Structure 1
């Protein structure tokens, strides 16, 4: 394989048997169970990286279970994790804090392309008689359970669409071959071409359990605010770098030139 062939074919590891397909990535009948709750504001601030800002007066977390039965390139899988409402440069969005999946392809693709904080786990989202139930296990240990009355009340579809279309933020961490950081970036992405097929609410419950390697309880549930069950088609848009941590540190650490020092002396005089 010549150099041009390598360049043209390289989009996923391994080169000759890619883990996932090229985008775009379309999701059909993507099903969400989202529980919004209040948590400890200090713990929230400790876990959300600057320059993202959190609302210390209304410290919210969204615990999500997402069922994806028809995902181009990624297949049939489920994920679960925590998303935190934030602002960035005055714009409202959500920081993806944790994600646990049962499928290797989207785990690898999400980490390599965007920087989604994905780890392998065992989430599920099912309907048990009159209740929609989300469960997350890490290994054999149950670490999260969410329940909501099944389609008790209809939600405004436009509000559900706005929720899914809001910008998302990720912390992409890519090590160099010597173990040092090659990339440390705040990535922004959006869901596109969103079609809401249904949106509902109802009585909701959430329980988080302590686990060393799936520390969802580090953001404890102090008060449940609301629950939402959404069914939608959407495309996961590609991302862009909103903030480069390494470039910022390099600028701060860059030595001043002779001309800079001369100007400083002149201003001081």
Structure 2
């Protein structure tokens, strides 16, 4: 029996291997913003309750992964709750490889899209961007200033794994997934300030989030293991 176990299509040449995936070295820059409550609610799945007006915009570069091709990503994370379970939902997510795209969508329900992701880092500054369909939907410039900020709780991830029905309008799969990183290691953490620009795009309306204030930013380096999540509910309606 191969490592793929025939549960990932195509069976003779699966797009991605089975779990777990070992993220051995990554760099990430995060900007923490206060947003418009109405817009934040709009961009959450309808099943979730917004629990904070502070959200995260991030760009992440993976340098070494065991299980997937090395890729970079960016996105938006919004604190939320579902039936008393508090965490956060990745409301927008962009990656630059097809195996990370499909594994994320098919296994856990992350709303990943393909995009161009850029990440540059030196001892003074970090720059990152996500560009899709000719629009730079995330553009971050980070500078160190050592001013600590209070980070909202963004774990576990709460996602909706929703798939269209093949026979009619409606859903075939509609589950609430809880997912937590395992064996997380923080190698480096630097507080800072950041400039954040989100270009107007009809296809990716992150600019509508309504950033009222940038509270601060953080650069980190670390490692973690990504493995199976838990189905905490199945929506039958």
Conservation of the 8 A alpha-carbon contact between 2:142 and 2:193 = yes
Q: Distance in 2 between matches of 1:90 and 1:225?
A: 27
Q: Distance in 1 between matches of 2:137 and 2:47?
A: 30
Q: Distance in 2 between matches of 1:194 and 1:178?
A: 42
Aligned residue number for residue 120 of structure 1: 114
Aligned residue number for residue 18 of structure 2: 22
Structure-2 change in CA distance of 1:118 and 1:27 (3 Å): same
Where do 1:34-45 residues align within 5 Å?
A: 34-45=30-41
- The runs of 5 or more residues in structure 2 that have no matched partner are none
Distance apart, 1:163 and its partner CA = 5.9
Aligned residue number for residue 211 of structure 1: 201
Conservation of the 8 A alpha-carbon contact between 2:135 and 2:200 = no
Aligned residue number for residue 132 of structure 1: 126
Q: Distance in 2 between matches of 1:154 and 1:198?
A: 16
Residue 63 (structure 1) aligned with residue 57 (structure 2): yes
Conservation of the 8 A alpha-carbon contact between 1:114 and 1:187 = yes
- Larger Rg, first or second structure (1 or 2): 1
Conservation of the 8 A alpha-carbon contact between 2:32 and 2:55 = yes
CA deviation digits over 1:104-146, x for unaligned, max 9?
A: 1010111111111000001112126721011111033222211
What is the DSSP-based 3-state SS (H/G/I as helix, E as strand, rest coil) of the residue aligned with 1:76?
coil
Q: Distance in 1 between matches of 2:98 and 2:26?
A: 18
Q: Cα RMSD (Å) of the superposition? A: 2.4
Residue 245 (structure 1) aligned with residue 235 (structure 2): yes
Query: Which structure is higher in strand share?
Result: 2
- The runs of 5 or more residues in structure 1 that have no matched partner are 250-269
Query: Which structure is higher in helix share?
Result: 1
Q: Distance in 2 between matches of 1:154 and 1:227?
A: 9
Identify which of structures 1 and 2 has the higher relative contact order when contacts are C-alpha pairs closer than 8 Å and 6+ apart: 2
TM-score by length of 2: 0.90
TM-score by length of 1: 0.80
